[in-house]
Structures are given as C-alpha cells and as structure tokens.
Amino acid sequence: MSNQKARALGFNHIALEVGDIDAALDFYAKIFEVKLRGRGGKMAFIDMGDQFLAIAATGKADRDAERHFGLVVDDQAKALENARDAGAVFVEGSKNTFYDPWGNQFQIVEYSNIQFMKTKSVLESMGLGGLEKSDSAIKELREKGIEVE
C-alpha cells in the first residue's frame, strides 16, 4: 500500500433518492429556492453555489441504490489507487465510486475539474496553495458569475 494519500477537500455533492423527480422538485421548491443545474433520465441536480444536490428517482425497493456523496480530493488517481489497495469494493461499471466496508458509497472527484472552490487562503492553510482549476471548471464558474482567484 502506498504511503502517499490524497487530501480530502470537501463535498462536491450529496445524492438523495426520491420516488418521483417532479414531486421532489416541487417539495424542495416549497422550502427553499431551487435553481435547476440540470436534469437527465432519472436524475435532477439543484445548484447550491459551487456545490449541488443530486436527486435520483430509483423506482426500487432498495433505498440506498443511488445514495452517495461526492468527496472532493486533490488527487483522484491516488485516492482511487489507495481505495483499491485498501480492499474497497467498486460499484459495477464505475471507475470512481466505491463502497467502504460499512456500505457507505463514496464518489471521488478531483478538485481541478469541478465547480467547488476553496479560497486561496484556505488552500494555502491546507498546504495546497498550488491547486488550480481546469479551463472547463473556470468557464462553468464564470458563467454563473463566480470569479476564480
């Protein structure tokens, strides 16, 4: 097992299971402002600044089929390599989603490729001052009116 580890930076998203996407969107809109980031198939994504809530209509009795969280790391490849070395069970057909021994589903996403941002001072305090965003992540942020430092 490698001694080098990826650093966990925060959450990209949380995924909740619902019975019906439209009913869930209607329910959530009664509670807070809902800005739809996107929708496709049995999924919808509610924007929350640089993070989002994913809702999935599973239509299954198994209520944990899609429930997971997206963990942001500085080095996705290293995190996934270490997960394999630790014996994590990967979700069939996925390269970046695995279960821990207790059934919690982790989806590993790399900081540079997503909207989620830490301020420069926070990154520096974590010893990660050199982390940067990809061009596509910067474009997505700017389209929302969020300037990247």
What does the mean pLDDT of the chain come to? 87
Tens digits of residue pLDDT in 68-127:
889 999 999 999 999 999 989 999 999 999 888 777 788 999 999 998 888 888 888 888
According to the model, what pLDDT value does residue 100 have?
83
Beta strands 68-73 and 105-110: pairing type? parallel
The contacts of residue 32 (CB under 8 Å, 6+ apart) are: none
pLDDT at position 133, please?
Answer: 93
60: DSSP letter = S
Superfamily of 8-111 according to CATH:
2,3-Dihydroxybiphenyl 1,2-Dioxygenase, domain 1 (3.10.180.10)
**In the block, residue with structure tokens 């490698």:** 2
- Which residue has tokens 């305090």? 125
pLDDT for residue 2 is more than 80: no
Element (H, E) at 46: strand 43-48
Residue 1 binned pLDDT confidence (cut-offs 50, 70, 90): low
**pTM for the full predicted model:** 0.75
Confidence at residue 92, expressed as pLDDT on a 0 to 100 scale: 92
Bridge partners for 105 per DSSP: 99
